[in-house]
Amino acid sequence: MAFVVIMGLSTLLLTAFLAYVNLILVLRRGLNRLKNRHQSGLDASDSILEGLTVLITHYNDSEKIPDLLQSLSRQNYTGSFNTYVVDDHSAPAHLQALEASLKGSSLKTHLMQNELRPGKKNALEYAISRLKETFIVQLDADVVLKADFLSVLVSAKVNTKADILLALVKMKAANSFISRFAAFEFLSLQMSGMALAALERPIMANGAAMAYHSATWMRFKEVGRKWDSGDDSFLVQAARRAKDVKIVAVPEANVSTNAPLSFQSFISQRVRWGAKSVAYPSFFAKSVALSVAFLNISLVGSLLWTSFFSWSNVWLVSLFFFLKAVVDYPLLRNFARLSNQTNLLRGYAAAAIFYPFYISMSLWLMVIPSQKKWKGREYR
């Protein structure tokens, strides 16, 4: 009986682990390509782009947008750009504070009100359909830009002739385990997204900081229509399938945002991101999500089973926890060095142990019937 248990556990965990290792090898190739391009550098010779528009989506973030506006006003980009803020049905107090911030800013900023149904994608559609400019830099209201953000992004656009550019978003962690873990986990997401984009197989983007031609966004706006969010990932997956759209990752162009402070806000954010994966138009994107989910669920399920029914085999599950941490670390370390985020690897052992439990909990919350909310608003 003991032999049967060990063989069953070994087969399950080894199958899940080998599928995951295959993904790791793919990400490694992408990260090496991204690293080589990063080392070769961009030709940032004061590139100028006509018709450049910065589009900021805002929903109840009035306390954060002054920092964004200030960072925009301090850009070293030598060209001109227009700035629009589209408000997505914010509460009256937030809208009033937003209007005051715009009036007090040195930037000439145009405020638009989303007249479509609430939701970020609808707000973007409302704004983009009314803008004449052809190239849009999309930002969330809670980010802060590096001084060279626009100049690096424009240089990448001019040099690569890309239709969609994926910037890097860094999370700044507070002094708590949950906040640090959220920033660490986000680092792994950014690494995966940028590595796969470098292989010309993008499956995710971050709508907090990306850029595209307005015509490209409008072309694929119906993909993922029933979802209130996910415009970024649906866009890059649909564009990649179209074959005639060039997508480039630009980690040199980066912004920062604060990591969630509470476990509830963290898990709600990740459930919202993960829930839409079932509607991804890309089979490859679904296979990546399945590979990650399969290993982590297998680890947690096996640990719980052996803890209650076969304590003598806990060592086998612990071995695979260790192996996963070992294969993950080089990728995360290399990307952390590339993006100057090595501070997020402190406490890696604790984060590596907690990660499978977090993934399993997130998946459970995605499938159970419940009222899902983000920033106090229900979402689909």
Q: Quick one: 89 and 149 in the same domain?
A: yes
Percentage, residues of the chain above pLDDT 70: 92
> How many Å apart are CA 153 and CA 240, to the nearest integer?
20
What amino acid is encoded at 241 in this protein? Answer: R
Which residues, other chains included, contact 142 with Cβ-Cβ below 8 Å and sequence gap of 6+? 61, 64, 65, 68, 208, 257, 258
Q: Quick one: 13 and 97 in the same domain?
A: no
Query: What's this model's pTM, rounded to 2 decimal places?
Result: 0.91
Residue 49 confidence (pLDDT): 82
- Identify the domain boundary among 229, 261, 293: 261
Q: Tell me: the pLDDT tens digits for 216-268?
A: 999 998 887 777 666 788 899 999 988 889 999 999 999 999 999 888 888 88
Q: Quick one: 256 and 350 in the same domain?
A: no
Q: Quick one: 100 and 204 in the same domain?
A: yes
Q: Quick one: 181 and 146 in the same domain?
A: yes
Q: Quick one: 61 and 184 in the same domain?
A: yes
Residue 210 confidence (pLDDT): 96
Number of domains in the chain: 2
Q: Quick one: 197 and 344 in the same domain?
A: no
Boundaries of domain holding 58: 43-261
DSSP secondary structure, 277-323, as one string: GGG-S-HHHHHHHHHHHHHHHHHHHHHHHHHHH-GGGHHHHHHHHHH
CATH of the domain at 234: 3.90.550.10
Q: Is 197 exposed, middle or buried (0-12, 13-18, 19+ CB in 10 A)?
A: buried
Residue 377 confidence (pLDDT): 59
> How many Å apart are CA 122 and CA 131, to the nearest integer?
15
> How many Å apart are CA 14 and CA 37, to the nearest integer?
35
In a domain, 37, yes or no: no
Q: Quick one: 309 and 164 in the same domain?
A: no
Q: Quick one: 358 and 213 in the same domain?
A: no
